[in-house]
Amino acid sequence: MNEATDLDLKKWLSTYGILTAERVLETFNIRLKHDELITAIKNPRSIYYQLLRVPLKNIFNGIILQQTQDYQVYAQKLFIDYLLSGENEKDASAPGANTREEIEEERKKLINLGDEFSQLEIAHQTLIGESQLSLIKLSRELQNSLNTAAKKCKAILQHHGVNQSQEAVMQAIKVAIIHYDLSDEMLAESSSFWDEIEKNLGISLNREMRSELSPSITQFHQHKAEIDQLLSSYLTRAEEIAQNLRLFRKRFFDTILKANELIKSLPDYHPDEAREKENLQSLNFDREIGEVHPES
């Protein structure tokens, strides 16, 4: 797992609670009970946790993207107000000529920066669309596989004189997988996975029954490997987008600082303070979101 990505996910969940996670899973037609959802999002090995990683990373990137757009718009307003003042039309012999030339260069840089940023916005939206379609498809297959596993397990239990509905068996498997966090040993005879199955169904499973049930559950659990493989590519792309978003956010911010410094140094330019205050309101956010700081 990418540690920075998982840290973002944990921060998101701790900040916004489980409501966002619940809505994301509902997009995939997956509904967990409140206590199941809490357990699932705290267990990095849970299939349901894995399904959340890319969508929440995309949402997290969307917040940084919006901040970057706000910086871009604010920078544009600085130059628009400057141009509307007519200051740029002054004769080259008027005081501040060199500064006006620098301001014009910064304005052109902002236009080019905006063009580059547009490509990143497209990449972000493309990733959202591609990953959502893939995860919806995989979630559907996951649910079908769970239904198949539950049907087979129900038949095995009936063979041993244990009558349980397919829905109850399916729920028991789902809960047991949510709670278990050692996937490589999940179906071992002494695994706590079986304890969860017994607890949820109110039955006792002997060695023979566990052995017979294992293959059916293994088929369902193999989807985790597919999810891991699929997510690896998407998470890499999401992290690259996050890094670039942080870079663009800083570049737009630096442009604002530079433009302000130059414009305010003009001897005859007097900005509209009320408009400036109004524009600043759009920048009332935590610009440290998504930043990676070295541990102290």
Give tens-digit pLDDT for 240-285. Answer: 999 999 999 999 999 999 998 999 898 887 776 666 666 666 565 5
pLDDT at 278: 64
Give how many domains the chain has, as a whole number. 1
> Could you tell me the residue range of the domain that residue 19 belongs to?
3-283
Three-state secondary-structure class, residue 153:
helix
Above 80 in pLDDT, residue 145? yes
pLDDT at 164: 95
In a domain, 267, yes or no: yes
pTM score, whole prediction: 0.82
In a domain, 86, yes or no: yes
In a domain, 11, yes or no: yes
Tokens of residue 9, six digits: 């996910």
pLDDT at 85: 85
pLDDT at 296: 38
With cut-offs at 50, 70 and 90, classify the pLDDT of residue 150.
Answer: very high
pLDDT at 1: 45
CA distance 260 to 279: 13
Q: Which is higher by pLDDT, 75 or 44?
A: 75
Which own/partner contact pairs does 26-29 have at CB distance under 8 Å and 24+ positions apart? 27/55, 27/132, 27/136, 28/135, 28/136, 28/139, 28/140, 29/136, 29/139, 29/140, 29/143
In a domain, 172, yes or no: yes
Q: Which is higher by pLDDT, 3 or 76?
A: 76
Percent of the residues in the chain that have a pLDDT greater than 70, as a whole number: 84
* Nearest CA-CA partner of 1 in 58, 40, 46: 46
In a domain, 290, yes or no: no
- Which residue matches tokens 């900005």? 271
Mean pLDDT of 205-221: 89
Digit-coded pLDDT (tens) for 158-184: 999 999 999 999 999 999 988 876 655
In a domain, 59, yes or no: yes
In a domain, 40, yes or no: yes
Above 60 in pLDDT, residue 4? no
* Nearest CA-CA partner of 208 in 161, 145, 147, 146: 161
In a domain, 289, yes or no: no
pLDDT at 239: 95
pLDDT at 67: 92
